[in-house]
Amino acid sequence: MDKEEIFKNLAKCVVDGDEEGAKKWAEETIKNNIDAYEAIMKGLAEGMKVVSELYEKGEYYVPEVLLSASAMNVAVEILKPHIKVDKTAKPITVVLGVVEGDIHDIGKNLVKIMLDSAGFRVIDLGKDVPLQEFVKAVKEHGAEVIGMSALMTTTMPGMKRVVDLLVSEGYRDKVKIMIGGAPTTMEYARSIGADSWGKDASEAVGIVRSLTAK
Amino acid sequence: MTPRERVEAALSFEGVDFVPVLPPFQGFWAVGVYETKISEIFKDPMRGAEAQLNILNKVPFDGLEVLWDWLAPVEACGCKVHFPDRGNPVTIDRIVKVPEDIDRLSMPDLSKHSRTKNNFEVAHHLKKTLGAERYVYVTLTLPFTLAGELRGVEALMLDILKRPEDVHKLLSFATEVLREYAKFSAEIGVDAIFWCDPTASADLISPRHFKNFVAPYTKAILKKTRDLGLKAFLHICGNTSDRLNVILDLSPDLMSLDTKVDLVVAKDILNKKVPIMGNVSTTDILMKKPIDIIAASKECIRRAGKIGFLLGAGCDIPIDSPIENVKSLCDSTKEI
C-alpha cells in the first residue's frame, strides 16, 4: 500500500480519536516496511497538528483532545520498537511541570501531548512540583526550555521563584522559560522574567520552536 | 439600605443606594488572614467562624459565604483528601477508579461525616450571628464537578466520549448526594446556596457537552434548592460566554461570572431575567494596588450598570490577598 495513503489514514484516526483505526494503520505501516519514524512525523504528528488547530478554534475541547492523544499513543506504542535510532541527533528537551501547591495538570498534560507529537523530548515532572525540582531537572537533562503552569492565582508566584532560583544559581541564560495557565498573562510572564507565555496548549509547539531557533 | 436589603433589591432588579458587594468566595482567604495554617480550622472549626466575623470588621461585604469548604461532599463520598497548611483541600485518591466502581457507590450518611457536620455547625453559628443584617449563603459543588472529583477530571473527560451512559449514572449519584446537602442548608436557614461548577468551564468542555452532561443535573439541583425555599446561585469558572444561553434557560437566581466574561455581553444575554455578578480579576486582587482594584471595580459597574448587578471577584478571593485590596471592592461602590 502507498505510504502516503497510510500516513493520511494515521492522521485521520488521530483527528477522529479512533483508537482501533490507529492500531490497524500502525500495523499496516510495519507490514509494508514503511519507516516508523516517518509514519509518526508525517502521519500521527500531522493529525495532532490538526487537533491543535481545532482546539485553538474552539471546535475541540479537552475530551476530544485527550481521545485523539489516546489514539495517537496506541499507534506510537506499535511503531516505537521499529524506529531506527539515530544516536547523533539530540532532540530539543523541554522540562514541564505544574508548580508546587497546584494539582491542576490537564493543561500541562495537553502541552506535553502537543510537544511529544511534534518530536520534542519532554521531561514531565508532573503536578505539585517542588520548585527546586525544576532547576535540578534542567541541569540533569540539559534542557533547553522549561514550561511551568499554574491554575490557581495563589500558586502562580511559584513560577517567579523558579526564575529567581535559576538566576541565583547562574543558570538563567542557559535555558528559556515559558509559562501558562488560566490566571497567567503575557504581562505576568514579562513581570517575572519569563521568556514567553501561551494562552493555551495549541501555542506550545510554536513557542518552543521560536524560543530555540538558532 | 441595610446590606441585606441591598442584596435583595439587586436580586429583584430594584434600585439600590450602592451596588452590593459579595466576595463571592472569601472563606479560605479570611481564615488565612488570621491563621498561619489554614489546615487548623479542620481541627478547630469555630476558629474558621471567628475569622469570618473578624474580617467583616475590616471588609464590610453585604453578604458572604458561611460555608466555604465546598468540596466536603467529595470526602463524604469516600475519596481521600489532603489538607495543605496553606491552600484549599485537594482530592488525592478517587473512589471511582474504574467505571464499574460507579455501581458500588452508596449514599453517604452526612450526619456521620464529621467534616460536613462541622461545616454546617459553623454555618449555623454564622447565620445566627450575621443573618439579620447580612445576606448569607453556603457554597457547594454542582454534580459535574463532584463527578470529576470522584472519578478524576481527566478520566471523566474521556468517559464523556467513550462511555456517556456511565457518566450519566455517576452524575445521577452526585445529584442525589447534593440534594442531601441542599436539605442540610435549608435546615440551618441560610438565604441561598452558591452552586459552583468549575469543571463545567469552557476551558474544558464544549457547549454541546455542557448541554448534555451539565444542564439537566444543574436544573434538578436548582429546582430542589428553590423547592426548599432558598435562592439558587450559580458560579462557573472561565469564559462562559458561549453557554450563557443555556444558563438563561436554567435561570439561576444569580449568575456569577469569571473575569474572562464581558459583562456587557452577559447582561445582554441574561437581560432582566438573571441578575449577574462579577468580575474583578483575582490575579489583580492578589497582586495589584487598591487604586487598581477601585478602577477595575468601577469599570465593572460601568459595564454592567447598577440594576440587577452585584460586584465581586471573578472567583475565590485568593489566599494571601492584601486586606486593603479586598476592601477596595467595597470602597469603590461608594464612589459611584
In this structure, CATH architecture of domain A93-212:
3-Layer(aba) Sandwich (3.40)
Taking CA atoms, B252 is separated from A69, A96, B210, B215, B249, in Å, by 36, 40, 16, 11, 9
B209 CB neighbours in chain A (<8 A) are: 61, 63
pLDDT reported for residue B8? 98
Size of interface A-B (CB pairs under 8 A): 58
Domain boundaries, chain A: 3-82, 93-212
> What is the count of structural domains for chain B?
1
Across the interface, do B282 and A109 touch by the CB < 8 Å criterion? no
Bridge pairing between strands B80-82 and B90-93: antiparallel
| Cβ of residue B81 closer than 8 Å to a chain A Cβ | no
**pLDDT tens per residue, range B148-165:** 999 999 999 999 999 999
d(CA B333, CA B311): 8
**pLDDT tens per residue, range B163-189:** 999 999 999 999 999 999 999 999 999
B124: containing domain = 3-334
Flag whether pLDDT at A88 surpasses 90: no
> Cell triple for residue A101?
501547591
Taking CA atoms, A42 is separated from A206, B47, B49, B200, in Å, by 17, 60, 60, 35
d(CA B92, CA B79): 7
d(CA B266, CA B261): 7
Bridge pairing between strands B192-196 and B276-280: unpaired
Flag whether pLDDT at A161 surpasses 80: yes
A17 CB neighbours in chain B (<8 A) are: 161
**pLDDT tens per residue, range A28-63:** 999 999 999 899 989 999 999 999 999 999 999 999
ipTM of the complex: 0.92
Flag whether pLDDT at A81 surpasses 90: no
3-state SS, residue A69: helix
| Domain of residue B64, CATH code | 3.20.20.210
* Superfamily of domain A3-82 in the CATH hierarchy: Methionine synthase domain (1.10.1240.10)
Q: What is the mean pLDDT of residues A186-192?
A: 93
Across the interface, do B157 and A63 touch by the CB < 8 Å criterion? yes
**Mutation choice for B interface testing from A19, A51, A62, A105 by most B CBs within 10 A:** A62
Across the interface, do A63 and B319 touch by the CB < 8 Å criterion? no
Do B283 and B317 form a contact (C-beta atoms < 8 A)? no
pLDDT reported for residue A87? 60
> Cell triple for residue B219?
436544573
| Cβ of residue A62 closer than 8 Å to a chain B Cβ | yes
Flag whether pLDDT at A86 surpasses 70: no
Nearest by CB to A67, from B161, B206, B237: name it.
B161
pLDDT reported for residue B74? 97
Q: Of A54, A46, A213, A202, which Cα lies nearest the Cα of A117?
A: A46
pLDDT reported for residue B330? 97
| Cβ of residue B246 closer than 8 Å to a chain A Cβ | no
Chain A residue with minimal CA distance to B154?
A106
A185 CB neighbours in chain B (<8 A) are: 283
Same fold, A3-82 and A93-212: no
Across the interface, do A185 and B283 touch by the CB < 8 Å criterion? yes
Phi-psi group of B305: left, alpha or beta (phi > 0 → left; psi -120 to 50 → alpha; rest → beta): left
Q: Within the 30-69 window of chain B, which residues sit less than 8 Å (CB to CB) from chain A?
A: none
Amino acid at B313: A
